[in-house]
């Protein structure tokens, strides 16, 4: 796809404390193309480097769609160009700097799984194919109770998920349920998605963004380096053999355990225990207050 033909994407970013509300405008058809991938890369880079951002809500500017699906022309032309190079026997020329292929797309979603911020997908409308895969790459999903559906229809086009859908959906739902959904190509309704754990909440369409922001704000109270370490341990360690997963967890734990903030909070916890003769989390109301604040008190 040429630069002139490529659908342009715009992200409207609104800072709300430690949470960013991001409205995605991916053109009149709301398709996921290379330009949106590049815009999201820049967003994730900003989030990773900004110490004040701990959560991101991804929503849509389209009235009925989160992301329709991938830009099919982008997929088709990429495949045709790859096949032509293979058949010619010629070495593939280096891609232009702004080229987005599968490796770059996968790296984007994997980085979302490892950065120190919680991503919440606000699904006010349809999310199919790569739109669903973007939602699966988020940490939480809130869905409208009407005019919304989510799924992987690629089999109907004679292909299969390529943005991680067969892997992330399987980790969410289990092998058999994920396999049947991808083989069939039929999307989940809001009720189905909630029942099987594909989304975390279903609310009225008017309240989707507000609910997503509320969930994001709650988790945004947590220590930013802890968010990253926990996400990496769960996303990457959870699919490793147990001994290897334990090693990854230990590495992440030790990084936080020796850090200045972790040491300071643990010393304060000990001092409170000595002063009160009880563990702070077991003092009446102590645990609830820590959850509300996102930290034990100093």
Instruction: Looking at the structure, tell me whether residues 98 and 235 fall in a common domain.
Output: no
What mean pLDDT is predicted for residues 98-126? Answer: 95
Q: What is the dihedral of CA 155, 161, 167, 171, to 10 degrees?
A: -60
Confidence (pLDDT) at 3: 40
Rounded to the nearest integer, the mean pLDDT of the chain is 93
Confidence (pLDDT) at 172: 96
Per cent of the chain over pLDDT 90 is: 85
pLDDT digits (tens, 9 = 90+) for 215-232: 999 999 999 999 999 999
Report the candidate in 125, 198, 180, 128 with the shortest Cα–Cα distance to residue 157: 128
Give the confidence band of 101 by pLDDT, cuts at 50, 70, 90.
confident
Q: CA-CA distances (angstroms) from residue 110 to 43, 129, 163, 279? A: 14, 17, 10, 38
Instruction: Looking at the structure, tell me whether residues 73 and 87 fall in a common domain.
Output: yes
Q: Which residue has the higher pLDDT, 135 or 92?
A: 135
Q: Which residue has the higher pLDDT, 245 or 8?
A: 245
pLDDT digits (tens, 9 = 90+) for 130-150: 999 999 999 999 999 999 999
201: CATH? 3.90.226.10
Query: Residue 46 falls within a domain, yes or no?
Result: yes
Q: CA-CA distances (angstroms) from residue 298 to 8, 97, 266, 267? A: 48, 48, 9, 9
Instruction: Looking at the structure, tell me whether residues 154 and 233 fall in a common domain.
Output: no
Instruction: Looking at the structure, tell me whether residues 125 and 193 fall in a common domain.
Output: yes
Confidence (pLDDT) at 2: 41
**How many residues are recorded in the chain?**
298
Q: 187, 219, 251: which is the final residue of a domain?
A: 219
pLDDT of 91 higher than 90: no
pLDDT of 180 higher than 80: yes
d(CA 89, CA 146): 51
The residue segments making up the domain with residue 15 are: 10-219
Structure tokens at 14: 């609104």
Instruction: Looking at the structure, tell me whether residues 69 and 151 fall in a common domain.
Output: yes
Instruction: Looking at the structure, tell me whether residues 264 and 203 fall in a common domain.
Output: no
d(CA 194, CA 122): 14
What mean pLDDT is predicted for residues 255-271? Answer: 96
Instruction: Looking at the structure, tell me whether residues 152 and 28 fall in a common domain.
Output: yes
Confidence (pLDDT) at 212: 98
Instruction: Looking at the structure, tell me whether residues 202 and 285 fall in a common domain.
Output: no
pLDDT of 275 higher than 80: yes
Q: Which residues make beta-bridge pairs with 38?
A: none
Structural domains in the chain (count): 2
Q: 219, 243, 278: which is the final residue of a domain?
A: 219
Confidence (pLDDT) at 4: 39
Confidence (pLDDT) at 99: 82
Give the confidence band of 83 by pLDDT, cuts at 50, 70, 90.
low
Q: 167, 200, 219: which is the final residue of a domain?
A: 219
Instruction: Looking at the structure, tell me whether residues 85 and 228 fall in a common domain.
Output: no
pLDDT digits (tens, 9 = 90+) for 35-82: 999 999 999 999 999 999 999 999 999 999 999 998 878 777 766 666
What mean pLDDT is predicted for residues 242-246? Answer: 97
What mean pLDDT is predicted for residues 275-287? Answer: 96
Q: CA-CA distances (angstroms) from residue 48 to 45, 54, 93, 188, 272? A: 5, 9, 32, 32, 33
Query: Residue 3 falls within a domain, yes or no?
Result: no
């Amino acid at each position: 796809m040429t630069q002139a033909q490529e659908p342009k994407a715009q992200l409207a970013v609104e800072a709300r404390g430690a949470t960013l509300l991001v409205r995605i405008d991916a053109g009149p058809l709301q398709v996921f193309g290379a330009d949106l991938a590049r815009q999201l890369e820049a967003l994730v880079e900003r989030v990773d480097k900004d110490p004040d951002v701990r959560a991101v809500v991804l929503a849509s500017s389209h009235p009925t769609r989160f992301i329709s699906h991938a830009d099919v022309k982008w997929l088709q032309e990429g495949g045709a160009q790859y096949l032509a190079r293979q058949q010619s026997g010629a070495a593939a020329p280096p891609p232009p700097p702004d080229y987005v292929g599968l490796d770059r797309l996968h790296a984007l979603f994997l980085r979302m799984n490892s950065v120190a911020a919680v991503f919440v997908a606000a699904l006010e409308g349809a999310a199919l194919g790569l739109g669903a895969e973007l939602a699966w790459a988020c940490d939480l999903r809130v869905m409208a109770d009407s005019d919304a559906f989510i799924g992987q229809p690629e089999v109907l086009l004679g292909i299969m998920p390529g943005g991680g859908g067969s892997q992330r959906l399987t980790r969410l739902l289990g092998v058999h349920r994920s396999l049947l959904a991808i083989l069939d190509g039929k999307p989940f309704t809001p009720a189905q998605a909630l029942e099987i754990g594909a989304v975390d909440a279903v609310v009225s369409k008017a309240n989707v963004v507000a609910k997503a922001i509320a969930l994001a704000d709650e988790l945004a109270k947590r220590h930013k380096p802890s968010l990253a370490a926990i996400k990496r341990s769960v996303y990457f360690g959870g699919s490793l053999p147990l001994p290897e997963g334990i090693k990854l967890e230990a590495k992440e734990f030790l990084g936080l355990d020796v850090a200045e903030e972790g040491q300071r909070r643990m010393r304060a916890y000990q001092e409170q225990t000595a002063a009160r003769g009880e563990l702070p989390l077991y003092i009446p109301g102590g645990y609830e207050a820590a959850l509300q604040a996102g930290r034990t008190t100093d």
